Structure 1
Amino acid sequence: MTIKTGNGPSAYLKAIANDNSLPIEQAALDLWLKDLQNPLRWGVRPLLQFIFAILLHLTWLFKRLPLPQFSAHNSLQKLICWFCTHFVSKEANLLILRHYATESNVLNFLAANSPNSGFKPVQLYPKCIADMQHASFVEHDQELFRLFAELGSWHHPKQPLTPQQLNWQHWQSVDMAQFEFTEKRTQWLDFESAHALFMCLFCLLLTREEYRDAINGFNLDQSIAIRIGDLMGDNSLREMAYNKFPHYLVGPWNLGQRFLMHGFFTEHLYAYLQQRYSTEKTEV
C-alpha cells in the first residue's frame, strides 16, 4: 500500500466534501471545509478553548453572585464587529453572516405556516460585518424568543400542509454575492477559535439571565425541527437537531460544540427548505 503525502485535503475531508446525506448548500460546505484546513484550528484552538473554558466558568460564577447586574450590549457588539473586521477569517465571517440569514428564514417559514399567524417577521439579514452593530447577537437571540412567545403552544396538525398550502411569503434565498466583504491580511482566525475568545466577553457583558437564556436558546432547535417536520410531513427533520430538550436548562459546559452544532442545524434545515422552495417555484 502506498501512502500519499501532500498539502491538500486529507482523505476524510475529501470524503465529506462529497457527502450530501444531510442537506447543505455547496457555498456553506466550501466555507466550512476551508475553515477546517486553517492550521490555527488544530494548533491554537484547543489551547484557547481550554484556557477560556476555565475563565468562562469563573465569569459565570461571578455573574451568579448576589451583586447588581450590568450589561453593555452596544460595547459588546462593537468589540465583536471590530474583531471580526480585523482578525477573523473571511470564511468564518461569511459563515456568521449566513447564519443570520438561514435562521431568519427558518423562523419566518415556521411562523408563516403556523396556525397563529399574528406575528412580526424576523428582519435580521445583515450583508456585512458593520450591519451586525444593529443586527446584534443579542437581538438575534431575543427575536427567537419573541417569535416562540408570539406563536404560543403548538398543536400538532393531523395532516401535513400540501405544497399549495405552504406559505413562502417571507422567504429570502441566501445569495452569497450580496455579502459585502473586504479581506485583510490580519484576518486569519478560524471560526471556533474566534468563538472561544468571545465566550467570556458575552458572559461578562450580558446580565446573568440574558446569557443563561442565550446559551439555552440552542435547545429550541429540536422544537423548531419538530414543528417544521409536522408541517412538512417529515419526522426525520428532528434528527438534525443536536441541541435538544429545551425545558432542561444547562450552563456553559460544552458551549463551543453546542454553538457550532446550532449553526449546522440551521444550515441543514435552511438547505432542506430551500430545495423545496426551488422545486415548487420551478413547478409554478
Structure 2
Amino acid sequence: MKPTDDFLDQAWDPRDPSPWLALYLDRSTPMTDPVKRAWLKDSSSRSRQFLLPFLRPTARALIVLIQVIKLFVPRTWSASITLHRLLAWGLRNFVTPEANWLILRHFHLGAQVLAFIAANAPTRVETSPLTPQTIDDLKDELFLKHDLNLFNFVIRLGLALRERGQDLGVVAEPDFSMIRDPGLRLEDMPRRWTNVVDIQSAIEIFTPVYQLFLTDNDFWRAANSLQLDETIAIYCATILGSPEHLILLNNKHPLVPLSTLRAGFRLVLHGLSTEMLHALLMSQAEAAVASD
C-alpha cells in the first residue's frame, strides 16, 4: 500500500467533497506527506469532532478557577515532576498514536530549528537540545525545559549580538547540517484500545493540569513562549532572505502577551508552525545539496 492511500483512496464525490482530501492534496503549506497524513487523520477523528467542543469551554473555565485558587497558594508551590509523570501517563494510555508521534517530533524539530539559527548567527550561541525517544523520556520535566530553552536561547542570542554590535543577516550558503528527519517511528507509538484522544483535545485537557501543578510564573512563561513563534520565524526568514514564509504564523506579536485562556489552541498553532518551518528548512537543505 502506498503511504498516501489513506486519503487518496477516498471516494471523491464533487457534490459532497471530503474536506480532509482537499487539505491533504493542498500544497500551499510546507509539510511532508507523513506528517500531514498523521495530522489530518488525528484532526478528522471522532474525538476531535465530538469531544473537543465540550472540553474547550470546560478547560478555559478551569483555567480561570485555578487562577483564583492560586491566589491562596504559596507563589513558589509546584510539583513539576509529578506533573510530567502524569502527562506521560496520560499520553501513553489515552492519546492517539499520531498525536504522540507529533508531540515527540516537536521537541526534536524545535531543537533543530534553534541549532540552525545558532549555526548561522554571526556569533556563537549555545543551545540545549531536547530529543526524547519515548514518551517516558518526557518525565524528565521536558515540557518545562522546552519553554526554558526557548527563552534562554533568545536571551543568549540577543545578548551576544548586542555585545558585538551585530545583527542576524542573510547567509549566502546557510548551514543546514542539523536539519534532518528525527527518525521517530509512528508505528512505535502506543496503540491500546484506549488511545483515542486527539491532539487538540489532549492539549485542552493538559493545559489546566499544567497550570495547576506549576507556579504562576512557570505557567505564564509557558503561555507567553507561544508568542515567540514569530520571533523564531523572523530569525530563520532573515537568514534565508525569505520573509514571505511568515504568512502562516498565527500567534501574533511577541510584544503583546495574550490571555492564557486560549493557550491550548495557540499551542496547537505553535506545533503546526514548527512542523511547517522545519519542512521548509528541509526543502531548502535538499535544494542546497542538489545545487552542489
TM-score (norm 1): 0.89
Alignment of 1:133 onto 2:143:
no
Alignment of 1:233 onto 2:241:
yes
**Distance between the aligned counterparts of 1:115 and 1:135, measured in 2?**
32
Alignment partner of 1:160: what SS? coil
Alignment of 1:148 onto 2:154:
yes
**Distance between the aligned counterparts of 1:187 and 1:111, measured in 2?**
38
**Distance between the aligned counterparts of 2:193 and 2:29, measured in 1?**
34
Alignment of 1:185 onto 2:193:
yes
Aligned to 1:116: 123
What does 1:150-165 correspond to in 2, within 5 Å?
Answer: 150-152=156-158, 155-157=166-168, 160-163=170-173
Offset at 1:65?
5.1
Alignment of 1:59 onto 2:66:
yes
**Contact 2:111–2:131 (Cα < 8 Å) also in 1:** yes
1:147-194 deviations in Å (ceiling 9; x for gaps): 11111156545x62112xx12343342334387324211111111111
Structure 2, unaligned runs of 5 or more: 1-12
**Contact 1:128–1:179 (Cα < 8 Å) also in 2:** no
Structure 2 letter corresponding to 1:79? L
Cα distance 1:259–1:118, how it changes in 2: closer, same or farther (>3 A)? Answer: closer
1:100 alignment partner, one of 107, 126, 129:
107
Aligned to 2:5: none
**Distance between the aligned counterparts of 1:257 and 1:110, measured in 2?**
26
**Distance between the aligned counterparts of 1:238 and 1:280, measured in 2?**
21
1:95-138 deviations in Å (ceiling 9; x for gaps): 1011111111111111111122131x332111211111126100
**Distance between the aligned counterparts of 2:229 and 2:75, measured in 1?**
32
Structure 2 letter corresponding to 1:132? L
1:218 alignment partner, one of 214, 217, 226:
226
1:40-61 deviations in Å (ceiling 9; x for gaps): 1111111111112101111123
1:181-216 deviations in Å (ceiling 9; x for gaps): 242111111111111111111101111111001001
2:262 alignment partner, one of 232, 254, 259:
254
More moved, 64-73 vs 239-248: 64-73
**Distance between the aligned counterparts of 1:39 and 1:203, measured in 2?**
27
**Distance between the aligned counterparts of 1:210 and 1:106, measured in 2?**
23
Structure 1 letter corresponding to 2:68? L
Between the aligned residues of both structures, percent identity stands at 27
1:209 alignment partner, one of 212, 217, 220:
217
**Distance between the aligned counterparts of 2:146 and 2:226, measured in 1?**
12
**Contact 1:81–1:132 (Cα < 8 Å) also in 2:** yes
What does 1:255-274 correspond to in 2, within 5 Å?
Answer: 255-274=263-282
Aligned to 2:10: none
Alignment partner of 1:17: what SS? helix
**Distance between the aligned counterparts of 1:246 and 1:185, measured in 2?**
41
More moved, 146-155 vs 70-79: 146-155
**Distance between the aligned counterparts of 1:112 and 1:118, measured in 2?**
8
1:29 alignment partner, one of 27, 36, 39:
36
**Distance between the aligned counterparts of 2:121 and 2:140, measured in 1?**
28
Structure 1, unaligned runs of 5 or more: none
Structure 2 letter corresponding to 1:77? H
**Contact 2:133–2:184 (Cα < 8 Å) also in 1:** no
1:45 alignment partner, one of 52, 60, 73:
52
Q: Whose helix proportion is higher, 1 or 2?
A: 2
**Distance between the aligned counterparts of 1:85 and 1:109, measured in 2?**
31
1:243 alignment partner, one of 246, 251, 268:
251
1:78 alignment partner, one of 85, 93, 107:
85
